[in-house]
Structure 1
Amino acid sequence: MTTKETTARYAPEHTPRLRWAQHAPEVYKAMVRLDAAARQGLDPALYELVKIRASQINHCAFCLDMHTRDALAAGESVERIVQLSAWEESRHFYTEKELAAIGLTEAITVLTGGTSRTKSGGGFVPDEVYDRAAEHFEEAELAQLIAAITVINAWNRFGVTTRMVPGHYRPGQHK
């Protein structure tokens, strides 16, 4: 079955609620610039894994479609993408650095991991998750990672709220 046949067979039955980029073009352009700034200094494979994992958690079908296609086009394996939703049980597919980034992605995306604020600055992103990431990333790279996670969460909120339709994106289309 070709991609065209697959798309036709599973064509979405809904339309977007709102074409937000058309109605808020300056916000869209700012998001594109923010996204480009956030990716600076990050490994492209890691960047796509983070975007896919946050999009899985947020149930953003459009972003899942986009970033899975981008990751595949960049040479990521189907196996690692498929296992990402069960990364804690599939740790052997990822490096320690990738695992730290994926854990941080979940903590920042969900923001319910911590139950109370501690004197050491803990809270909703548990200290152990943050500290693990800090072990694997230099401060500047960690700042970029946090920015990338924050940006994909913003994109996900636009996508889910406006019901952006997956299935039409081609790698490189929105770079």
Structure 2
Amino acid sequence: MPRMILQKVIPLGYAPVLALEGYARRSNDRRTYELVKIRASALNGCGYCSAMHVRDALAQGEAENRIEALRSDWRALDVWSPAEEAALALTDEVTRLGESGVSDTVWNAAVEQWGEKGTGHLIIAICTINVWNRIAISTGLEAADL
């Protein structure tokens, strides 16, 4: 049982995050959107969000071997399109966000594959899942709560 259902306790604080999520969902390629969500959730150790996005990706026909690769070294599996590789590399660097931020190599690959606007949409999706991961983990949401 979760510690708190945030949307019930502070609905006015929860609503903007939900609105940002809606924008991210509408603005990104649906398949890539789920890959990004699964990858960031794996990096953050969020079982709740991982379970949700794995379920959604499977319902859309995503291959189980690709989903499994997102939980470890996705680069070891040679099944990604150049656009997916760019999105996943961007997800890794935005989620881990070290002192130097996102490298020029990753940034340039994302812009080359997705364009400036598409890269912006990906950043919103990546940032939003990072917010959801932190909400789910801190409030104690688990996959069984889905």
**TM-score of the superposed pair, with normalisation by structure 1:** 0.79
Aligned to 1:131: 108
Aligned to 2:37: 51
Aligned to 2:5: 19
Structure 1 stretch displaced more, 25-34 or 50-59: 25-34
**TM-score of the superposed pair, with normalisation by structure 2:** 0.94
Aligned to 1:86: 73
Runs of 5+ consecutive residues of structure 2 not aligned to the other structure: none
Q: Work out the CA distance in 2 between the residues paired with 1:165 and 1:146.
A: 25
Q: Alpha-carbon deviation of 1:153? A: 0.4
Whether the 8 Å CA contact 2:40–2:92 is kept in 1: the answer is yes
Q: Work out the CA distance in 2 between the residues paired with 1:28 and 1:41.
A: 20
Aligned to 1:156: 133
Which aligned runs of 4 or more in structure 1 are off by greater than 4 angstroms?
none
Amino acid at match of 2:30: P
Whether the 8 Å CA contact 1:39–1:144 is kept in 2: the answer is no
Whether the 8 Å CA contact 1:61–1:166 is kept in 2: the answer is yes
Q: Work out the CA distance in 2 between the residues paired with 1:129 and 1:140.
A: 16
Q: Work out the CA distance in 1 between the residues paired with 2:81 and 2:61.
A: 16
What percentage of aligned pairs have identical amino acids? 39
**Would you say 1:66 and 2:43 are equivalent positions?**
no
1:3-61 deviation per Cα after TM superposition (whole angstroms, max 9, x unaligned): xxxxxxxxxxxx21222121011222221111011223311010000000000000011
More helix by percentage: 2
Aligned to 1:118: none
Q: Work out the CA distance in 1 between the residues paired with 2:63 and 2:21.
A: 24
Q: For the aligned residues, what is the CA RMSD?
A: 1.2
Amino acid at match of 1:145: L
- The change in CA–CA distance for 1:41 and 1:18 in structure 2 (over 3 A counts) is closer
* Structure with larger Rg: 1
- Say how many residue pairs are matched: 145
